[in-house]
A and B are shown apart, each in its own frame.
Chain A
């Protein structure tokens, strides 16, 4: 099973600032198989990024993903008030699919 470790656990920032979230895989991953999700309280996760760097439909371009092999990054260029949430990375490279433990982006 591939373990995904996200850091930091919590990111305290202000609107307008840049957020950088990290996801490290315990094994090498094909970039096709790394996704990022956003989850707000009481809501289901929402797909942001797939294939490590492709934005899902309707996702603003302030969200970007990068990385390869074992290290992946989600960047939010300028935080909007609605971006304060928990973010999860997820891998589809090896079954079972696994998620990181999440990074909370808070004000």
Chain B
């Protein structure tokens, strides 16, 4: 089973709202990732958690706040977003921090009004 699940599938929020994206995997993977993808563009890495600790933050604005409550779960908290933050947000996981494959979830389509 190589499934990564993400909820919600779609999210519409105003610029003053607070919302959260959720990602879950039950493959025993110890590395989890958040990516942002604009239409017809490659995914851009935002954050990496390795063994539940934040290991990479690609200079992401503080209005995006990641959280890894346990090894299976990854959240992305959103607050005071801008319309240009509208995108597909992808979660991925991999077994560890070696050369393993990253497996992606289906994504959350976010629209900021």
Bound pair (A, B): no
| Residues of B participating in the A interface, judged by any CB pair closer than 8 Å | none
Identify the A interface with B (CB < 8 A). Answer: none
